[in-house]
A and B are shown apart, each in its own frame.
Chain A
Amino acid sequence: IAGITQAPTSQILAAGRRMTLRCTQDMRHNAMYWYRQDLGLGLRLIHYSNTAGTTGKGEVPDGYSVSRANTDDFPLTLASAVPSQTSVYFCASSAGQGAYTEAFFGQGTRLTVV
């Protein structure tokens, strides 16, 4: 049982480079989310998608873009990375059948922008 898978697990990236973080789930969940976790700031929502074909902005969307071409995949793209985007990124999904559903998290991608 895979659940939700993120890739890569870690990456060192030069500033100005483009990077796509991958997220795939096999639970047929409608909703998917991207969070970043920084020390002292907890988890902050970057973008979300309630269903395939739709996306929305979270609390800290600037510098990031997402797409949801199908149910299973929700890639997060940094068009031109900056050092402030150094963080641990978590992808999550939930069934989205009403609001009373729990979220399942991937193991995270540790990104360092130098």
Chain B
Amino acid sequence: SQQGEEDPQALSIQEGENATMNCSYKTSINNLQWYRQNSGRGLVHLILIRSNEREKHSGRLRVTLDTSKKSSSLLITASRAADTASYFCATVDSGGSNYKLTFGKGTLLTVNP
């Protein structure tokens, strides 16, 4: 079964606003990653946060991780029309040597100009 579940499934905002997407997962993880997918394209890695980290920044992206709640959030600040895409969280389970990435169903973000 899929590990991550993003919320909301779809989000529509105006350019300049902030966008927040959430991800919940089920098992203990080694790390959590966020990916972006433009329509008809492959996924592109955005940011990785380790299980012992609580917050991470990269440009306009801010990711938080709460392992006690098994949840993560992705904040995109000052959104642009070019940020329109689907965003996926993915987890790597802790333990073992299998570095499988398990994805959620994604959030479709639409940024209106």
Residues of chain A at the chain B interface (Cβ within 8 Å):
31, 33, 35, 40-45, 48, 50, 56, 58-59, 90, 92, 94, 96, 98-108
Cβ contact of A35, chosen from B44, B103, B104, cutoff 8 A:
B103
- The residues of A that contact B2 with a CB separation of less than 8 Å are 42, 44, 59
**Are A105 and B43 in contact, with the CB atoms below 8 A?**
yes
A48 to B45, CA, bound (A): 18
**Are B42 and A33 in contact, with the CB atoms below 8 A?**
no
**Are A102 and B99 in contact, with the CB atoms below 8 A?**
no
**Are B103 and A42 in contact, with the CB atoms below 8 A?**
yes
B102 within 8 A of A: yes
Q: How far is the CB of A34 from chain B (nearest CB, A)?
A: 12
Complex interface residues of chain B between 44 and 92 (CB less than 8 A to chain A): 44-45, 48, 50, 88, 90, 92
* Sampled A-B contacts (10; CB under 8 Å): A42-B105, A48-B98, A50-B98, A59-B2, A99-B31, A100-B48, A101-B99, A102-B45, A103-B90, A104-B45
- The residues of A that contact B35 with a CB separation of less than 8 Å are 103
Query: A35-B103, A42-B104, A102-B48 known; A90 and B42 CB under 8 Å?
Result: yes
**How many of B's residues come within 8 Å of A, CB to CB?**
27
B33 within 8 A of A: yes
Residues of chain B at the chain A interface (Cβ within 8 Å):
1-2, 30-31, 33, 35, 40-45, 48, 50, 88, 90, 92, 97-106
A100 to B104, CA, bound (A): 18
- The residues of A that contact B90 with a CB separation of less than 8 Å are 103
A56 closest partner in B (C-beta): B98
- The residues of B that contact A105 with a CB separation of less than 8 Å are 42-44
B6 closest partner in A (C-beta): A42
A11 to B50, CA, bound (A): 39
Query: A59-B2, A99-B31, A105-B43 known; A45 and B48 CB under 8 Å?
Result: no
Query: A42-B2, A59-B1 known; A103 and B97 CB under 8 Å?
Result: no
Q: How far is the CB of A22 from chain B (nearest CB, A)?
A: 15
Query: A43-B103, A99-B31 known; A50 and B42 CB under 8 Å?
Result: no
